[in-house]
């Protein structure tokens, strides 16, 4: 009997830990919000068709370089393969576009897209905290937890 009670308590404990991890708004998780960076990510992810071919190539290379940075070992085979095939480390145009970092590049893309084709972009903001939410169709804010379904 005691064993069973312990098992139930353990299961409830595990479930509440899992739900806390899954459902916690990002604000509570203490992830810093930066409107420019969120906008840059949002536009590159959801308005890909508005990027120029050069911006798309740079974005892909930027993504590859970030993956390389996340590889455990600087000598890993995976890191070498990503570098060889996708990172375009010797491309002067890409290197120039990324000279101020990945976030700055995406922010510049967002500024250009909004200046040139802003009417085609819907920036979905939370009605509660005004932060940019994950997708143009999202109805829940992962920053403050507000839900407007
Ligand atoms: Zn919110």
What separation in Å is there between the alpha carbon of 27 and the centre of ligand 1? 9
Average pLDDT value for residue range 9-38? 64
pTM summary value: 0.77
What separation in Å is there between the alpha carbon of 68 and the centre of ligand 1? 32
What separation in Å is there between the alpha carbon of 148 and the centre of ligand 1? 10
Cα separations in angstroms, 38 against 13, 99, 104? 34, 20, 11
Q: Which stretch, 5-14, 20-29, 36-45, has highest mean pLDDT?
A: 36-45
Q: Could you state, in order of their start, the residue ranges of all structural domains in the chain?
A: 1-31, 33-149
What separation in Å is there between the alpha carbon of 112 and the centre of ligand 1? 26
**pLDDT digits over 96-138, tens only?**
999 999 999 999 999 999 999 999 999 999 999 999 999 999 9
What separation in Å is there between the alpha carbon of 35 and the centre of ligand 1? 13
pLDDT of 8 strictly over 50: no
């Amino acid at each position: 009997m005691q064993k069973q009670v312990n098992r139930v308590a353990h299961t409830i404990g595990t479930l509440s830990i899992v739900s806390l991890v899954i459902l916690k708004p990002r604000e509570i998780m203490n992830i810093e919000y930066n409107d420019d960076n969120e906008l840059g990510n949002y536009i590159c992810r959801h308005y890909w068709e508005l990027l120029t071919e050069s911006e798309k190539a740079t974005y892909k290379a930027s993504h590859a370089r970030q993956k390389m940075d996340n590889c455990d070992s600087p000598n890993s085979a995976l890191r070498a393969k990503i570098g060889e095939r996708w990172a375009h480390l010797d491309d002067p145009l890409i290197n120039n576009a990324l000279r101020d970092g990945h976030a700055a590049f995406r922010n510049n893309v967002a500024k250009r897209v909004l200046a040139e084709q802003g009417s085609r972009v819907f920036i979905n903001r939370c009605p509660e905290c005004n932060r940019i939410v994950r997708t143009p169709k999202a109805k829940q804010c992962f920053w403050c937890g507000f839900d407007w379904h």
